[in-house]
A and B are shown apart, each in its own frame.
Chain A
Amino acid sequence: MADLNDGRIDLHRARSRFIAFSITAAVLLLALAGRLFQLQVVNGEVYAGRVAAVRTVEVPVPAPRGLIFDRAGRPVAVSVPSWTVQVRPADLPDPARRRVLSRLAELVGVEPSLLESRLDAFSGSPFDLVPVARGVERQAALLIGEEAGDLPGIVVEVEPIRQYLDETGAPGGQLLSHVLGYMGPVSREELEGLQADGYLRDDVIGKSGVEASFEDELRGTYGSQLVERDAAGRLLEVVETIREPEAGTNLMLTIDADMQRLATQALTWGMDVADVSQGVTVVMNPQTGEILAMVSLPAYDSNQFAAGITADEFGVYLTDPNKPLRNHAISDIYPPGSTYKLVTGIAAMEEGVTTAGRQWPTYGCYQIPGAAEGECLYDWNRAGFGPLAMVDAFAKSSDTFFYQMAVATGIDPLAAWARHLGFGETSGIRLPSEEPGIIASTEWARQQGRSGVFTGEVAQAGIGQNVIAVTPLQVLNAYAAVANGGDLMRPMIVRGETDTTGELIREYEPEVIHAIPADPGTLETMRIGAREVITSGHAYNISELDLPGALSGKTGTAEFGELNPGGTLPFHSWFVAYLPSAAGATDAELAIVTFNYSAVVPGNVSAEVVKYFLQLYYDLDQDLRLDPNDFSLVTAN
């Protein structure tokens, strides 16, 4: 037993430390007892009172979001119940975790690893609810409810989500995606400004389109209730309704879903045959500014967002070079090309540069005044047209005629008239992310650190090239203003408010932004020119359509970007048109613009799209569509 001696205890030292340790332990235990006495006996009644009060809590009651109808009263955005499965990690015992999650995955119809990964990705408190599956089927939700006893920590909540419908009433989030937009969870930054308005941490908010721009109307006012909850946080009963929720306002779009479908069909066809990747068609009532159809392709699916879009799905949209999430009709700006000759023509006549009847020589190439000899700007028609007055120059789209008009008018008066026609400023349509565009002026040049606009640029501004960038909606609205006799209308996307069945109960008034300060004769000259564009055959055979009116319009070809290997520039194709009862009349109720981005075909694919749309919309027996790849169409500009 020799090994035990070296372990002999130093009795003297051990005694004092044993005593110290024992006293410390006793004091600590007594301290616990003392605190317990203070909590339970001294303050016990205070806590008991708090306990009774804490069981009832005030909870917000979300208001039903306003419905959205098209102008014919068809529902296009409705709210449907959706079930969300949530996990409270603290209530999910670890031994049961695998079993519970795999059973849950089976019921929901997803891979268990997906639920695992969503749960693992959550880094907050284990007492928070973690949504692991949204948009769960009703049947699955009911089954989860039945098995609640075997699925600890799992909470199923029903919440309304948006469903977007197409013109037939079937779910379809592509048709009106850029008009209606989509909903998404409110972000932390958004919440900071909105908490005072009753937004909740897990709230949803309109992120784009009418959902965003009419968020205040659609949301309504949340109510609140006093409810009694059981231990697990489940609702036992509503004790008292403090404030009833007020449902959101139901809205009627100015859009006709049928017309939207036809416009989509026509544009899709045109983009397909001409191999174009981005296109726009907008249809408007020139008298009121109501947008009847607004198509921007490629589109996205609003319904994908309603059920909670995955990062992968969202990433596909974000990285697509054709920017499907953007409404190209209002959020992107392009050179307007010859459609802009409307501005140059009005400016030249109003500034006294020319009269409707005065003829000007035209050239194959226009010598830039003040520039070196031979430094000239070509006409699209290298032969020139001979002497032309305004109407013919507009109808034939003579570039050299409008170079001269622009240079003689001057860049600043030209810019002023552009603004009179709605360019360079947002139209104020109630949709988010509208771009004002770029209109060259002396001030614009100075902002770029230059003394002024070069004469060559002034000439190019006259044909909507190089220093001019506009949205398709601005082009449409300018022509609509000329078509209605001179009132620049505020484009409308919502027509008014309805009851829950889609009956209009309050109509929004059309709004005139301003009257174009031009002589009525000037505008009439341009209307006659626009009619001539069609009748002269400049837009091919579109004049042969049996339409209930005198179709008038303008083609446009806008070069942009860098030279092709063949020495030509890629170009966008434009066609803008309206349909009055007779040539020069101001009673048009339909105006349309089509834009095709980088259309590398000889013909004007946008004119073909408009033609096809008119055939479909007026249900004509004719089919005059041409193949825009046909090189015999190369004369158009």
Chain B
Amino acid sequence: MRRTCRLLTLLIVFAALMAWGAPPTSPQDQSQPDQSQQSQEKSDKDQQKKKKKGGGFFGGLKAVAGESSEQQEVTATAGSKTVGEGEQIGSAQPTAADRRAVSAMESYAIPEKDVKKFQDEGQLKPKQ
């Protein structure tokens, strides 16, 4: 009696182990071979979507987060329908020459004595 019970428990635990380690199954895996091509394509698409969102238990959590950020993107872009100048400037792709021009702008420095002379000539008397 005890041996039977022990064997039974071992079997239950083994089954639980197998279920835990087994890859997740989707309804598409169980689809019948006589289904139409259309439904097969649909199931393929669904499967691709599932792959994108990530399978498995933890994949489900990732999918929830993904949907949230996608939604945010849609909300953010829905506001502007026309392309403004700022968007055009923002889309500009600077060339190496443009970047060099910015570097030149950064390194452009007027000696302090020249600035002082400039201020004196203008009788500006700055506080600092």
Please say whether chains A and B are actual partners in one complex. Answer: no
* Residues of A that sit less than 8 Å from B by CB: none
* Residues of B that sit less than 8 Å from A by CB: none
